[in-house]
Amino acid sequence: MAKKKDKVEGTDDGGGRAEGTTAVTTAAPFTDALRVGEGFVLAGVDPRSTPAFDGDKEAGKAALAAADEELDHLQEQLFAMSRAGGSRRVLLVIQGMDTSGKGGIMRHVVGSVDPQGVELTAFKQPTAEERRHPFLWRIRRALPGPGMIGVFDRSHYEDVLVVRVHDLVPPAQWKRRYGTINTFEKGLVEDDVTLVKVMLHISPDEQKARLQERLDRPDKHWKYNPGDLDERARWDDYQEAYQALLERCSPEHAPWYVVPADRKWYARLAVQQLLLEHLRGLDLRWPAADFDVEGEKERLTGL
């Protein structure tokens, strides 16, 4: 595929950022603080910590709201550039244990973006048709088009999580998948996809409290599934499976980010900021008109 990302002639509007923020594109504090690197140990991350942010809940909520405008602006530029032939797109992957807050991210972070620029896919247990295909088949069909922000609520990583924990395929098969995934994601990056892979990291105590709430409130019963407790009983196996994928699928071009998620407000802020920092890195701008602006103005006057 032709790479057009640098071929879109642009207008430097000088306003790529919301007023009041500093235009330092190299500073990416959340990206730096949350990236999985050499020697990463999941068990060493405190789910109640708030890396790269030293404010409290109130300050966190204010920071989230304050960044909406810039996120909106950058998303619109990403979309606009695709109309002028740009091929850049973003894929946000969200993984986490049950009750880790995936739905809240969808609602409060993804939900703040113009729905015309978002393609959200929630991956459930594979259907019969999906099971007849290689595990990446349904993933490829859900990839975002140029200019779009794709969002995966669960993803191909379930194929080395639930599948591994429950022995749904022989070990030799899931073990091969780490390499398959790395090759697949390398292809995505070469195809102008910016990957932002996020694991929401909660503690077992926090999960217990959240499940308890779903049981206590009749308006939350529909979110509860007795199977959730069976999964909870395998907590350590899941943590081990997460540790393996974080370690094995974090190459420099597509690392994982582990977001402490016991505090919902922090997790939402962190995912928003990760998205924002990645968008800032894309050198987005308004595409130049591909028509005769003055000529069109004249035509319009007569109509």
Give the binding site for a second copy (CB under 8 A).
11, 13, 80, 83-84, 103, 106-107, 110-111, 113-116, 118, 120, 122, 153, 208, 211-212, 215, 218-219, 221-226, 229, 232-233, 286-289, 291, 293, 296-297, 299-300, 303
Closest to a second copy by CB, 95 or 250: 95
Closest distance to a second copy from the beta carbon of 226 (Å):
5
Judge residue 218's burial from the number of C-beta atoms within 10 Å of its C-beta, 0-12 exposed, 13-18 middle, 19 or more buried: exposed
Closest to a second copy by CB, 132 or 297: 297
Closest to a second copy by CB, 177 or 264: 264
Closest distance to a second copy from the beta carbon of 118 (Å):
6
DSSP 3-state of 113: coil
Distance CA 195, CA 187 (A): 11
Closest to a second copy by CB, 166 or 208: 208
Structural tokens at position 74 = 């950058």
Closest to a second copy by CB, 19 or 219: 219
Distance CA 207, CA 187 (A): 36
Closest distance to a second copy from the beta carbon of 121 (Å):
11
Closest distance to a second copy from the beta carbon of 41 (Å):
25
Q: At a CB cut-off of 8 Å and minimum separation 6, what does 22 contact?
A: none
Q: What angle do CA 58, 277, 184 make, to 5 degrees?
A: 125
Closest distance to a second copy from the beta carbon of 54 (Å):
30
Q: At a CB cut-off of 8 Å and minimum separation 6, what does 197 contact?
A: 93, 95, 249, 254, 255, 256, 257
